[in-house]
């Protein structure tokens, strides 16, 4: 036996200012969520759709750590963004390193690409990820402090067709969930053409600066593009007459954008050109897009600030990390927000979760008495080894409650083992829908159920 490490009092962190309530039961943090068993089907469904799409389009999975060096996001997402300024869970660890919980996945993926020499792999490298991200933002419906993203990134190629294909992938993901969406697209230019556009924005907003909200007043000198993203009424009005980036794009950015749109037209994907779309992260170049739900009624309580997915091209990100330019493009989907939409569609009768739950237990094993329980334990194992999806409730002794459980989970057949069956070497097989029961040889339980399930498929 190894020795248990002693927890030394002085290594425990000091109580927080809010702390000191020793008797209070610790609770879920604000903006965080438990995903309870009843919710899991939605998550599994999303994951299975994601895997299928990733496979169809040739993406390989990557998992990066939840903790990264803080500088990774300072340099990529951008020092002046809301994410870095207000929303990072950043701290100094016990070794004195500045680290943070990742607020997004793209920077980590490009870090991994560079660190593992993926540049030497056949290009493009197509990667996808699924996992929690952390942002200390004000929690509300559809906005959490820990939320899951499904992301797709194509690294190592600059062709516009890839941007269009990513938009298509996003479109197909939501189509597969019967969620009506709107694709909004823009170009945010590149370091060659963007500075002149930024200057034109400053020139436009400066004379009107007393009408800007306090946040945008600050943005005016630090990040003028973000003013276009502001939803404050006073700023909204000013935005209408603001210069549009499309008029300031350099030849290369303009041609790239035209080609992206041509491919989308070829695919007959409907999209909206949104000259105000600038995205909340600084690393984008050229294409930027977002996927929005089409609003009818706001059943899920989602506000207009809730995009379901967002992304674009980020050819300069590797350079921001001090490496050579790696052209890349990608997007990510907010899983919680999408599940809220799926639930709405379910209520409207447009999405059937039951149809998705293909792998419902086919068989239930019920038992009566100690000897039957012992035998049933083994029967369950044999079924499992034969890939027959089986459920049980060995902790219950009453046949009635076991049969109730079997109907509740929708089992097609229930095997019933009692004292008499044990003595006879038989087992009762009950067809749940019609309630018809027959006695069969215990040894034939597996072959018999396989036969019936095959007949039903």
CB of residue 138 vs ligand HAM: minimum separation in angstroms?
9
Which secondary-structure segment (H or E) carries 406? Answer: helix 399-409
Q: Which segment (19-27, 203-211, 307-315, 381-389) binds ligand HAM by CB under 6 A?
A: 307-315
309 lies in the binding site for ligand HAM (CB under 6 A): yes
Min dist CB 166 to ligand HAM, Å, is 8
Token look-up 């907010």 returns 334
| Residue 76 CB, nearest approach to ligand HAM (Å) | 9
Kindly list the distances between the CA atom of residue 359 and the CA atoms of 25, 330, 443, in Å, as whole numbers in the listed order.
38, 32, 25
**Gap between the Cα atoms of 318 and 111, Å rounded:** 8
CB of 12 to ligand HAM, least distance (A): 30
Near ligand HAM by CB under 6 A: residue from 331, 351, 364, 413: 331
Find the DSSP H helices in 214-311. Answer: 214-222, 233-239, 251-266
Print the binding letters for residues 75-104 with ligand HAM: x by CB under 6 A, - otherwise. Answer: -----------------------------x
Of the two residues 155 and 238, which places its CB atom closer to ligand HAM in the complex? 155
Rounded Cα distance between 252 and 371, Å, is 78
Query: Interface residues for ligand HAM in 246-285 (CB under 6 A)?
Result: 280-281
With respect to ligand HAM, which residue has the nearer C-beta, 105 or 327? 105
Cα–Cα distance between 259 and 1 in angstroms, integer? 66
Question: Binding to ligand HAM by residue 317, rule CB under 6 A?
Answer: no
Query: What are the Cα distances from residue 434, in Å, to 66, 211, 213, 412, 439?
Result: 51, 72, 68, 10, 16
Rounded Cα–Cα distance for residues 261 and 266 (Å): 9
DSSP 3-state of 303: coil
Distance of CA 43 to the CA centre of its chain: 9
Can you tell me the distance from the alpha carbon of 428 to that of 442, in angstroms, rounded to the nearest whole number? Answer: 9
Measure the CA dihedral 215/218/223/227, to 10°.
40
Does 186 bind ligand HAM (CB under 6 A)? Our answer is no
Of 75, 102, 111, 135, the one binding ligand HAM (CB under 6 A) is 135
Task: Kindly state whether residue 111 participates in binding ligand HAM, applying the rule CB under 6 A.
Answer: no
Q: Which of 307, 342, 372, 417 is in the footprint of ligand HAM by CB under 6 A? A: 307
The H helix count followed by the E strand count for the chain is 16, 16
> Residue 320 interacts with ligand HAM (CB under 6 A)?
no
- Considering the complex, state which of residue 302 and residue 411 has its C-beta at the smaller distance from ligand HAM: 302
Written as six digits, the tokens of 110 are: 């490009």
Looking at 139-147, 156-164, 355-363, 432-440, which segment touches ligand HAM (CB under 6 A)? 139-147
Please report how close the Cβ of residue 145 comes to ligand HAM at its closest, in angstroms. 7
Is residue 149 a contact point for ligand HAM (CB under 6 A)? yes
177 binds ligand HAM (CB under 6 A): no
CA angle 129, 135, 138 (to 5 degrees): 135
Binding residues for ligand HAM, rule: CB under 6 A, are: 104-106, 135, 137, 143-144, 147, 149, 151, 153, 280-281, 307-312, 314, 330-332, 334, 336-337
């Amino acid at each position: 036996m190894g020795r248990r490490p002693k927890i030394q009092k002085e290594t425990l962190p000091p109580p927080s200012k809010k702390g000191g309530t020793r008797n209070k039961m610790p609770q879920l943090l604000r903006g965080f969520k438990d995903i309870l068993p009843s919710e899991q089907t939605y998550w599994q469904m999303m994951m299975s759709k994601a895997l299928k799409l990733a496979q169809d389009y040739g993406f390989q999975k990557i998992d990066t750590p939840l903790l990264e060096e803080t500088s990774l996001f300072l340099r990529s997402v951008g020092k002046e963004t809301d994410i870095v300024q207000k929303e990072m869970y950043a701290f100094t660890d016990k070794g004195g390193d500045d680290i943070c919980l990742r607020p997004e996945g793209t920077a980590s993926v490009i870090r991994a690409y560079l660190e593992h020499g993926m540049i030497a792999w056949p290009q493009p490298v197509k990667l996808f990820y699924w996992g929690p991200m952390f942002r200390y933002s004000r929690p509300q419906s559809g906005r959490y402090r820990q939320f899951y993203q499904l992301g797709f990134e194509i690294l190592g190629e600059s062709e516009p067709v890839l941007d269009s294909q990513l938009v298509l992938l996003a479109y197909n993901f939501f189509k597969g969930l019967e969620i009506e969406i709107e694709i909004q697209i823009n170009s945010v230019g590149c370091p060659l053409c963007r500075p002149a556009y930024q200057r034109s924005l400053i020139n436009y907003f400066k004379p009107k600066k007393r009408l800007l909200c306090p946040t945008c007043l600050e943005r005016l000198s630090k990040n003028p593009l973000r003013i276009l993203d502001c939803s404050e009424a006073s700023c909204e009005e000013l935005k209408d007459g603001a210069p549009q980036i499309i008029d300031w794009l350099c030849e290369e950015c303009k041609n790239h954008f035209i080609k992206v749109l041509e491919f989308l037209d070829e695919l007959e994907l409907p999209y909206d050109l949104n000259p105000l779309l600038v995205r909340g992260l600084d690393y984008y170049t050229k294409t930027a897009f977002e996927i929005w739900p089409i609003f009818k009624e706001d059943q899920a309580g989602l506000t207009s600030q809730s995009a379901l997915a967002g992304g674009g091209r980020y050819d300069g990100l590797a350079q921001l990390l001090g490496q050579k330019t790696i052209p890349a493009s990608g997007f990510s989907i907010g899983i919680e927000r999408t599940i809220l939409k799926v639930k709405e569609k379910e209520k409207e009768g447009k999405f059937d979760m039951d149809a998705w739950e293909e792998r419902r237990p086919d068989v239930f094993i019920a038992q009566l008495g100690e000897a039957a329980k012992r035998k049933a334990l083994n029967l369950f194992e044999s079924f499992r080894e034969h890939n027959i999806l089986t459920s049980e409730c060995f902790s219950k002794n009453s046949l009635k409650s076991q049969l109730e459980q079997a109907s509740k989970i929708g089992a097609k057949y229930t095997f019933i083992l009692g004292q008499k069956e044990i003595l006879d070497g038989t087992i009762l097989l009950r067809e749940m829908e019609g309630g018809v029961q027959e006695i069969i040889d215990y040894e034939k339980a597996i072959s018999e159920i396989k036969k019936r399930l095959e007949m039903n498929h």
